Amino acid sequence: MDSLDPSTERDLATQALARHDRPRTVLVGGLGLGFTTRAVLADPRVEHVDVVELSAPLVRWARAGLVAELAGLEEERCRLHVADVADVLTGGHEPPGPWDLVLLDVDNGPGFLVHAENADLYRVPGLARARDALEPGGVLVVWSSHVAPDLHAHLQDVAAPGETVAEVPIRVRRDGRSFTYALYVLHRGAAA
Ligand SMILES: C[S@@+](CC[C@H](N)C(=O)[O-])C[C@H]1O[C@@H](n2cnc3c(N)ncnc32)[C@H](O)[C@@H]1O
């Protein structure tokens, strides 16, 4: 997590917003430095954003304005919640869904986890819960710092017939080196 090049964190939001006609409600899993959340809030169609963050100190610092990037982020349309997003997706912790968009960026991606406990969020059970937390017609996007064929396959496994799954590779240059990040997108069918 750093602020050197937040373009892919913003892409996480803009790619989801571009795939939905009327995204009114959004769940963001992983506050970080708030780049994804600010990109969501920049869209006037969005009426409410729930941001779920594991780290209580980070949320406290955001509320106290101690981190410049996070100052003023919590406002009328945006609520911060301290919780494991996996618990929120099971319905075991507030806030309640469903949402039009579910955006997950809680770790580096399935191949390079900081928190081993996050592994299930990138596998069928966790992805199925994220898909089920979508309103009909909703969009789930998962951020990864690397191309992750297993994650792509697991998303295809949880998609219902007629729902679409896409891999969106994003080339990034950092310190003179080239990397390929990726977004994994599931578009839920319009029927409930
Ligand atoms: C890579 S950062 C997110 C970056 C964010 N997209 C941005 O725009 O700055 C990952 C964040 O997810 C949080 N996190 C890690 N595991 C989590 C979980 N299971 N539930 C909720 N938040 C989690 C971390 O504390 C960290 O703040």
Tell how far the Cα of 162 is from the centroid of ligand 1, in angstroms. 31
Range of the domain at 111: 7-187
Probe target for ligand 1 pocket from 105, 122, 123, with the most ligand atoms within 8 Å of CB: 105
Task: Report the pLDDT value the prediction gives residue 147, as an integer from 0 to 100.
Answer: 96
Residue nearest to atom 16 of ligand 1 (CA): 106
Q: Which residues line ligand 1 (CB under 6 A)?
A: 1, 9, 29-36, 52-55, 58, 84-86, 105-107, 115, 118
Q: What is the CATH number of the domain that holds 25?
A: 3.40.50.150
Gap between the Cα atoms of 134 and 14, Å rounded: 17
Angle at 153 between CA 149 and CA 159, to 5 degrees: 145
Atom of ligand 1 nearest to the CA of 118: 19
Q: Report if residue 118 sits inside a domain.
A: yes
Active centre residues (catalytic): 105
Q: Report if residue 38 sits inside a domain.
A: yes
Helix (H, G, I), strand (E, B) or coil at 2: coil
Name the β-bridge partners of 171. Answer: 180
Task: Report the pLDDT value the prediction gives residue 174, as an integer from 0 to 100.
Answer: 83
Task: Report the pLDDT value the prediction gives residue 191, as an integer from 0 to 100.
Answer: 72
Gap between the Cα atoms of 123 and 118, Å rounded: 10
Q: Report if residue 2 sits inside a domain.
A: no
Task: Report the pLDDT value the prediction gives residue 176, as an integer from 0 to 100.
Answer: 86
Tell how far the Cα of 22 is from the centroid of ligand 1, in angstroms. 25
Task: Report the pLDDT value the prediction gives residue 175, as an integer from 0 to 100.
Answer: 82
Q: What is the pLDDT of residues 62-114, one digit of tens each?
A: 999 999 999 999 999 999 999 999 999 999 999 999 999 999 999 999 998 99
Task: Report the pLDDT value the prediction gives residue 192, as an integer from 0 to 100.
Answer: 57
Task: Report the pLDDT value the prediction gives residue 15, as an integer from 0 to 100.
Answer: 97
Atom of ligand 1 nearest to the CA of 106: 12
Q: Report if residue 1 sits inside a domain.
A: no
DSSP string over 151-190: HHHHHHHHSPTT-EEEEEEEEEEETTEEEEEEEEEEE--S
Number of domains in the chain: 1
Task: Report the pLDDT value the prediction gives residue 4, as an integer from 0 to 100.
Answer: 65
Contact 96, 131 (CB under 8 A): no
Q: Report if residue 131 sits inside a domain.
A: yes
Gap between the Cα atoms of 144 and 91, Å rounded: 24
Residues of the chain with pLDDT under 70: 1-4, 192
Probe target for ligand 1 pocket from 14, 41, 49, 107, with the most ligand atoms within 8 Å of CB: 107
DSSP string over 92-149: SSSSP--EEEEEE-SSS-TTS-SSGGGGGGGSHHHHHHHHHTEEEEEEEEEEESS--H
Gap between the Cα atoms of 138 and 190, Å rounded: 8
Q: Report if residue 20 sits inside a domain.
A: yes
> H/E element holding 14?
helix 7-18
